[in-house]
Amino acid sequence: MIEFKHVFKSYGRGPNILADINFHIQPGEFVFISGPSGAGKSTLLRLIGGLETPTRGAVHVKGNRIDQLPARAQPYIRRNIGLILQDVHLLNDRRAIQNVMLPLEVLGVEYKIAAKRARAAMEKVGLAGKEDQYPIEMSGGEQQRLAIARAIVNKPAIVIADEPTANLDAVSAKRIMDVFKDFNRVGVTTLIASHDRALMAHYARRTLLIEPDRFSDLIGTPL
């Protein structure tokens, strides 16, 4: 489903952030990406999402080399990935529900159906009743949950989330993790980078631990 083969990544002339990374994630796995700040967790997720290209090596996603896809094929692969980054990139001139409907609009889903699905996704992340607000009128945690609703609304095969619970209180964090768990239960491959090891220990069965000089592929979660 997701495979790294001898992947190296540096930015510009800087040092290798990732060096000779190898792993293979099967469909339906729930994987925790862990490691100290600045070690390269976001970089790894961005490589899978096709937002960065490796300096060396190959990144395979759903049988395609995402790092070598022609530009016209990228939207097709990205459509399968629900990407939740730290910078939520919401459109402030559109209401909350319109933000969530965007991925469906791109796919040409009929307006009424798209609105219904967007409303359901917002309810899942605890934002029922906030449909008509503008993102700017929402709290940081609400914006983060809105970005999550947008990422899951078209039922992607892969969900990648970078610190999805960082701005959330314990109750909201658990709610969001349960949303990911429900998706994972029906086969969605899930990768989550987080500093919250205790929370992740309840959900993930495998950990990719990224440290400055070491990469470890572990069963369970380290506590």
11 sits near ligand ATP (criterion: CB under 6 A): yes
Q: Which is nearer to ligand ATP, 37 or 71 (CB)?
A: 37
4 or 114: CB nearest ligand ATP: 4
CB of 19 to ligand ATP, least distance (A): 12
Closer of 43 and 154 to ligand ATP (Cβ)? 43
* Pairwise CA distance, residues 156 & 139, whole Å: 26
**Region of residue 100 (left: phi > 0; alpha: psi -120 to 50; beta: else):** alpha
- Applying CB under 6 A, the site for ligand ATP has a residue count of 10
Minimum gap (Å) between residue 203 Cβ and ligand ATP: 18
Identity of the residue, 18 or 149, whose beta carbon is nearer to ligand ATP in the bound complex: 18
CB of 159 to ligand ATP, least distance (A): 17
Contacts of ligand ATP in 15-54 (CB under 6 A): 17, 35, 37-43
CA-nearest of 205, 198, 99, 200 to 145 is 99
In the complex, the smallest distance separating the C-beta of residue 129 from ligand ATP, rounded to whole angstroms, is: 32
Instruction: Output 131 or 217, the one with its CB closest to ligand ATP.
Output: 217
Q: Which is nearer to ligand ATP, 11 or 76 (CB)?
A: 11
Q: CB 218: neighbour CB atoms within 10 A?
A: 13
To ligand ATP, the closest distance from the beta carbon of 164 in angstroms equals 12
Least Cβ distance, residue 161 to ligand ATP (angstroms): 12
Binding site for ligand ATP (CB under 6 A): 11, 17, 35, 37-43
